[in-house]
Amino acid sequence: MGQLLEVLAVEVDEAVVEAALLGGNVDSPQPGRRMAASGLEIGGWALAPRGRPEAIEVSLQGRVLARGAWHHRGDLTAAFPDQEEASEAGFEVVVDASRLPAEAEIEVSARLDGDAITFARLRLRRYWRGAAATATPLVSIVVVDGSGDDAAVARSLPGIGAQRHPATEVLVLRPSTAASGPGELEENGIREVAAGLNGTTLRNEGIRQSNGELILFLPAGSRLTPDALALGVEMLARKPSAPGVIDGDRGGIAAAVYRRSAFEELEGFVDGGSDCDLELAIRAQRLEALVTPGAFVAGED
């Protein structure tokens, strides 16, 4: 998946272990480990004076996220020969961390006589793949021309050419029935993509054929401000947990830049008719996309 997770620290509270348990530890993951945010696997063991605890739980601020499964740990038999359940005191908990705050501290607890005894904590940081890959990532500008309007495409080109962010490629999405665009497009390194009349199909084909780490969708006729790409890159660098930056509101989307990795989780554009850009933006906001009206578009003729 697009969202990744970094384990910043794993801290076992030895005082709690000594006071309430015979022993316990979190063996994995180790600090510095990176993995898919949807599948954080926490493994270790916990043994109480009267045997295996009732349950192992992982929580965030008192809210239980997941409960563990017990498994065999033969190495504990030699360490605790008088405890019959020692060999079954290993645990594993799988947590979906993709909806946690960008930085979070989760608790690992053993439940004894109905009480949750927290004996370990993990500090986590969630981000998107490629979030900090380069200072000047390649940005694909995808101009969406749903009606074959050459004049509208031409109005967008000066703003694209004036961008201060250097690493860009430009694609123009056109319905298959549209006439070929201005002859200068190919000469200027701009590619045309025609993949059917449906706006959703066109946009998803634009994702497939583009190469950028970031993808900016721009309606034909709209003009980008000179700092649009630089601003989008800077905002996403400052917030690695954001899947994109949206210029617009619930009344409409002027433009939006998304991380390519975010489309894996967003699953691209879906059938939203003329509002497919807005529909995608709403889903992206649920994943903490930044909304900044007026960030990218200078105006539309």
Please say whether the beta carbons of 89 and 147 come within 8 A. Answer: no
Ranges in the chain annotated CATH 3.90.550.10: 139-300
Q: Could you give the residue range(s) of every CATH 2.60.40 domain in the chain?
A: 3-128
Residue with the two structure tokens 């969406």: 144
The gap between the terminal CA atoms of the chain, to the nearest Å, is 39
Tokens at 234, concatenated:
């800077």
**CA triple 244-245-249, angle to 5 deg:** 125
Of the pLDDT bands very low, low, confident and very high (cuts 50, 70, 90), residue 32 is: very high
Strand order in the sheet with 3-12: 34-36, 3-12, 115-128, 103-112, 55-60, 63-67
Structurally, at CATH architecture level, domain 3-128 sits in Sandwich (2.60)
Q: How far apart are CA 240 and CA 232, in angstroms?
A: 12
Class (C level, CATH) for 139-300: alpha beta
Mean pLDDT of 279-285: 93
- Residue 60 pairs with which residues in a beta bridge? 63
137-159 confidence digits (pLDDT tens)? 999 999 998 887 889 999 999 99
Per the CB < 8 A criterion, the answer to whether 20 and 119 are in contact is yes
Query: What is the bridge-based pairing of β-strands 3-12 and 69-71?
Result: unpaired
d(CA 285, CA 114): 38
Backbone angles phi, psi at 18, to 5 degrees: -65, -35
- Looking at residue 237, what is its pLDDT? 92
Sorting pLDDT into bands at 50, 70 and 90, what band is 184?
low
Q: What are phi and psi of 76, to 5 degrees?
A: -80, -20
- Taking the model in full, what pTM does it have? 0.82
> What's the DSSP call for residue 136?
S
Q: How far is CA 123 from the centre of its chain?
A: 18
For residues 193-199, average pLDDT: 71
